[in-house]
Amino acid sequence: MNTLREAAHLVELLDAVPEDVRIGVQDSEDWNAGTTWHPVGRLCRDAAAELRRLHAVNQELLEALRLTSIDCQYLHHAHKDRHLLFEECPVVARINAAIAKAEAQP
């Protein structure tokens, strides 16, 4: 799943699965053996809810990274004790790389 659009589409598909849908899985290779029925509809609803939760958490983490980047730039550049002034701050560089990776489009 590479884009927010794909994730949103997947949530829609998972939500569209009726609650009472079940899938049967053979308990063994013997076709005369029993079948276990799994509540796929409920699992799909749970998965959709978890995707929504993870998206919200991801947005909060990105915002925290952005704020950390601003704070880090201020602290490092105001005190000039972490790296040379003309060099890129390694902490800010890692933060910005993580943000870019999270926001990247395929």
Selected residue with higher pLDDT from 17 and 77? 17
- pLDDT above 80 for 54: yes
Selected residue with higher pLDDT from 83 and 69? 69
**Backbone region of residue 47 per phi and psi (left: phi > 0; alpha: psi in -120 to 50; beta: other values):** alpha
Other CB atoms within 10 Å distance of the CB of residue 73:
15
Instruction: Give the pLDDT score at 49.
Output: 92
Q: How many domains in the chain?
A: 1
pLDDT confidence bin for 67, thresholds 50/70/90: confident
- Residue 73 CA to chain centroid, in angstroms? 27
> By residue range, what is the domain housing residue 10?
4-103
Query: Which of 23-32, 44-53, 55-64, 80-89 shows the lowest per-residue confidence on average (mean pLDDT)?
Result: 80-89
Query: Which of 2-6, 77-81, 93-97 shows the lowest per-residue confidence on average (mean pLDDT)?
Result: 77-81
Average pLDDT over residues 92-102: 81
Residue spans of beta strands (DSSP E) within the chain = 23-26, 35-38
User: Considering the entire predicted model, what is its pTM?
Assistant: 0.61
